[in-house]
Structure 1
Amino acid sequence: MIMRTTCLILSVSAIIISALLAGTAGASPVTAGENERCVTVTDDLGGTVVIQGTPQRIVSLAPSNTEILYALGLEDRIVGVTDCCDYPLAAADKPKVGGFITGNVERVLAAEPDLVFASRNTEDVASRLRTLGMTVVILNPQTVDGVLRDIELAGKVTGQEAQASACVEELQQRIQAVIGMVENQTERPSVAHIVWYDPLWVSGRGTFQDEVITMAGGTNAFGSVEEWSIVSLEEFITSDPDYILVSSGSGMNRDGYDAVYNYVISEPRLQGLSAVRNNHVYVVDADVVSRGSPRIVDALEEVAGDLHPDLFGTGTPKAAETVQSPGIGVLSLICALSAAILLWKRG
């Protein structure tokens, strides 16, 4: 089953696709003047990086970085990605240079890049590449604003400043549209986000999920815990959230069986929870709600619709849908949980 399982990218609305395309025009041809450019930036871990010329061969060591590069129209310059880079769909066809956490230095070198975008998860690999003379920029956004800053940083590094500015402006408009619709709501429902159920992992403060819940007009039922944390079933029951969000991609197989969602709606001890009784259990795309990429705004819009269907005209519970589509699969589960556990241990 693991070998047969593939990553599925859930559809987004035509409006969102059009907006992204409008803000992500293709990369412009490099001129002689651009080859003489010299840019100095400070990356997300405080490193000073000097970029000579306009990079033409780029390796991405994180799915979120890959999504940013595609949003800037840089797909033709990408010569290597990780095994977990699966969005856009074309990214999966790019040459692989190792895992999301275990990037392969030899494969990166074989791709002959003139620029590598790494992440906190591949910090050790980035350090080794730098000692070998590679130009490495580390992107590690911790907030939605951090994602917007990193889009602009990537644009500056690659000579795609105009595309980055247009992308950020469009995302900011969408963010403000959501905030403007929910800011006058007198009640902020409590929301729990479950990453996995065995053991029970929830999203606490300092995570994208926590910020998305807050910006969407909710209150994180586990806002008192740090990052991604394990809680007991008793603690979860005591929290009694108004809404429960569960990550797709956490065990969903080709038969459409979503392990986390089905656990929540079938576990006898959870049936008395307000969210379960009121059919307020929703599935969110695990990648969309956890990656520091432009799609984090998709997650914000989706969650806002789940919590406030009267305002957004959305919010169809998973229980009301027919669950037949192929799943995101084991690969996404391994990537997402490995990253979460690594960050948890480092914290």
Structure 2
Amino acid sequence: MLAAALLLPSGGTVHAEPTHYPLALENCGASVTIKQAPRRVVSIGQTQTEILYALGLANRVVGTAVWFGPVAEPYEAVNAGVKRLADNAPSFEAVLGEVPDLVTATFAWHIGPHGAVARREQFSGLGVPVYVSPADCVGKDNSAPGDGVRTRPFTMDLVYRNIRELGQVFDVLPRAETLATELKAREDAAIASMAGRPARDLPVVVWFSSRDVKGDAFVAGAKGVPAYILDKLGVHNVIASDEEWPLVGWESIAAADPAVIVLVRMDRRLFPADDVAVKLDFLRTDPVARRLTAVRENRIVVMDAAATRPGLGTIDGIMALATNLKALGLAR
């Protein structure tokens, strides 16, 4: 168990033991040794970057990459002074060029068995430890190329573990405990806001993007972050696949006839359907999609990409979707 350090509501403080180095961690099936508090971190993934900022560690971050949208508002100023290596996946050479003593990643597809940036062993062979978010590997199989398959549902406990483990790595565990506690309180408040207003188990689909707008869609699977949000609000994900973001044809989506379609909004432009305007145009003009109940009755909700990633924005996603369901009159 980690020693707890929590800012109590009464104003009292429980003090934690400082981190003793070298620190040994089990991370995504690998043993990681941190020799001292890192001073030069490259963060590959917006959610990991924002957690580092929230822990007051922006001055340790020497490079970032993989951005789906603007940085969260509280961190705009500090982020402006941090080098962005790439909007999407950076090269292995670009990461090493910053001489990091730690590399963090949100997703195993960037640093993992099929790493788009590199394999973990390529970094560890050079003496650079890697920390990948537990939310992308605990209860998840990343052995095949792609976004992975969930063997157990995502929960926010994995994000809280992520925060606390980074608190240990950087010897800022009191800050980490405070952040995790505050996030849990916000999550509880968002869920409570729907109490007494059941959404009647509404069928919902979450559309992330598509390689070809008229082709199959990347939609949220049954056990990932969006499914967690839907479950907490009492609505039903029409997609049963355990894949993180399965490709599903519109005929199959039409057969489920979701009452609400959630469109993911992002700044990334890797695929044409990354653009919400493109998604909307397709829904309103495609002969199959335009017949969906959600489209005919204009029950289309836009959710920021940050809400669909395992991080600080997940809580905002719960709150935003609850608000939108109420506005549509779908939550009593």
TM band (smaller chain): 0.7 to 0.9
- Aligned AA for 1:150? N
Alignment of 1:66-77 (within 5 A): 66-77=49-60
Q: Which residue does 2:37 correspond to in 1? A: 54
Other structure's SS at 1:228 match: coil
Q: Which residue does 2:82 correspond to in 1? A: 94
Residue 180 (structure 1) aligned with residue 163 (structure 2)? no
- Structure-2 separation of matches of 1:156 and 1:57: 16
- Structure-1 separation of matches of 2:242 and 2:36: 45
Alignment of 1:79-118 (within 5 A): 79-82=62-65, 84=67, 86-88=70-72, 89=76, 90-91=78-79, 94-97=82-85, 100-101=88-89, 103-118=90-105
- RMSD of Structure 2 on Structure 1 (CA): 3.1
- Aligned AA for 2:51? I
- Aligned AA for 2:99? E
- Aligned AA for 2:312? P
Residue 283 (structure 1) aligned with residue 302 (structure 2)? yes
Q: 1:162 aligns with which of 165, 170, 174?
A: 174
Which consecutive unaligned segments of at least 5 residues does structure 2 have?
1-6, 8-16, 137-153
Q: Which residue does 2:149 correspond to in 1? A: none
Q: 1:213 aligns with which of 230, 233, 238?
A: 230
TM-score with structure 2 length normalisation? Answer: 0.73
Equivalent pairs: percent with the same residue? 25
Q: Which residue does 2:206 correspond to in 1? A: 193
- Structure-1 separation of matches of 2:200 and 2:19: 55
- Structure-1 separation of matches of 2:284 and 2:190: 29
Residue 63 (structure 1) aligned with residue 46 (structure 2)? yes
Residue 303 (structure 1) aligned with residue 321 (structure 2)? yes
Summarize deviations over 1:57-79 as a string: whole Å, max 9, x none.
11112222111111111111101
Shift of 1:182: 3.1
Asked if the contact 1:204–1:227 (Cα under 8 Å) also holds between the matched residues in 2, the reply is yes
Shift of 1:172: 0.6
Asked if the contact 1:305–1:311 (Cα under 8 Å) also holds between the matched residues in 2, the reply is no
Shift of 1:145: 2.1
* 1:193–1:83 CA distance, 2 compared to 1 (3 A): closer
- Structure-2 separation of matches of 1:51 and 1:295: 28
Going by fraction, where is helix more abundant, 1 or 2? 1
Asked if the contact 1:305–1:312 (Cα under 8 Å) also holds between the matched residues in 2, the reply is no
Q: Which residue does 1:231 correspond to in 2? A: 248
- Aligned AA for 1:176? D
Asked if the contact 1:218–1:307 (Cα under 8 Å) also holds between the matched residues in 2, the reply is no
- Structure-1 separation of matches of 2:179 and 2:19: 24
- Aligned AA for 2:185? Q
- Structure-1 separation of matches of 2:63 and 2:161: 23
* 1:269–1:91 CA distance, 2 compared to 1 (3 A): same
Asked if the contact 1:120–1:140 (Cα under 8 Å) also holds between the matched residues in 2, the reply is no
Bigger mean CA deviation after superposition, 303-312 or 57-66: 303-312
Shift of 1:292: 1.8
Q: Which residue does 1:120 correspond to in 2? A: 108
- Structure-1 separation of matches of 2:280 and 2:132: 34
Asked if the contact 2:205–2:262 (Cα under 8 Å) also holds between the matched residues in 1, the reply is yes
Bigger mean CA deviation after superposition, 76-85 or 86-95: 86-95
- Structure-1 separation of matches of 2:283 and 2:324: 17
Residue 264 (structure 1) aligned with residue 277 (structure 2)? no
Q: Which residue does 1:136 correspond to in 2? A: 130
- Structure-2 separation of matches of 1:35 and 1:155: 9
- Structure-2 separation of matches of 1:312 and 1:270: 21
Other structure's SS at 1:245 match: strand
Shift of 1:40: 2.1
- Structure-2 separation of matches of 1:162 and 1:230: 42
Other structure's SS at 1:284 match: strand
- Aligned AA for 1:210? A
- Aligned AA for 2:124? R
Shift of 1:80: 1.4
Aligned length: 278
Other structure's SS at 2:219 match: strand
- Structure-2 separation of matches of 1:59 and 1:93: 14
